[in-house]
Amino acid sequence: MWVKPTVRTLSLQREPLFNIPPVVTFLVAVFVVVHVVRLWLLTPAQDQYFIDLFAFIPARYDNTSRLLGQIMPGGVGADFWTFVTYSLIHANWIHLGVNTIWFLPFGSAVARRFGPARFLTFFAVTAAAGAMAHLFTHGTDNTVVIGASAAISGTMAGAMRFAFQRGGPLSPRREDVDPFHVPAIPLLFVLFDFRVFAFVIVWFGINLLFGIGSIPVAGMGEMVAWQAHIGGFLAGLLLFSWFDPPADEYPAPH
């Protein structure tokens, strides 16, 4: 659905593109606090219990293991919350740093458009979609999935719905339009925009290389859960309109 762009003052256009909303800063702070607690406050045994309790592990849903009495911590509750909580945990500082670098620009763009409540819900939904995609492709595998990459992929896809639009943050700006509140491109027309189409193709190509070529992330020593990335990206692209507020409900600029 097309909506009329919201008119803003000229001074707004002088704001830097890279302006971090508080909700994005909050999530990055959560990433850091969780990692610091695991690294400096928990013993190895406590950290393993923490991972078993909050990371996403497909084997948690293996009925055979449950019948044998191999029940993971958290019970039924963890069957649900780990679809989201895994996204707050990172393997090491490099993993956290790389995710933060990608999250700040794309997450900030979407957060400025959605506002904090919608953005947090969008983050949770795209994280859960990534976990669902990984579960679908890995069955009862006992490998641990952690990191915000699936949700970040969702924010990348969400940003593509408006960033290249006329007056948007990645196109020449008009002086009377807030670049983060321009009309979103309808889903049916996404692939007809060459810039969006090229971004999607390159993004999918990189993730397929991670999967087919088994490319590890430097400094992590583990393989990338690329199916989770794709699940989060598709959720962000397809469900963007569910979260996008009407023009007269856009959050006030920060």
Most confident of 18-22, 101-105, 124-128, 173-177: 124-128
What pLDDT score does 17 carry? 46
Q: Is the pLDDT of residue 67 over 70?
A: no
Mean pLDDT computed over 49-78: 80
> Looking at residue 254, what is its pLDDT?
57
pLDDT at residue 74, as a whole number: 85
3-state DSSP of the chain? CCCCCCECCHHHHHCCCCCCCHHHHHHHHHHHHHHHHHHHHCCHHHHHHHHHHHCECHHHHCHHHHHCCCCCCCHHHHHHHHHHHHHHCCCCHHHHHHHHHHHHHHHHHHHHHHCHHHHHHHHHHHHHHHHHHHHHHHCCCCCCECCCHHHHHHHHHHHHCCCCCCCCCCCCCCCCECHHHCCCCCHHHHHHCHHHHHHHHHHHHHHHHHHHCCCECCCCCCECCHHHHHHHHHHHHHHHHHHCCCHHHCCCCC
Share of the chain above pLDDT 70, in %: 76
Q: What is the mean pLDDT of the chain?
A: 81
* pLDDT over threshold 70, residue 3: no
- Give the residue-averaged pLDDT of 241-251: 77
Other CB atoms within a 10 A radius of the CB of residue 155 amount to 28
210 pLDDT band (50/70/90 cuts)?
low
pLDDT at position 183 over 80? yes
According to the model, what pLDDT value does residue 175 have?
A: 53
Residue 57 token pair:
């592990």
To 5 degrees, how large is the angle CA 206–CA 19–CA 188? 50
Give the chain's domains with CATH numbers: 10-249 (1.20.1540.10)
Segment 20-29 shows an average pLDDT of 96
Name, of 106-115, 187-196, 244-253, the range with top average pLDDT: 106-115
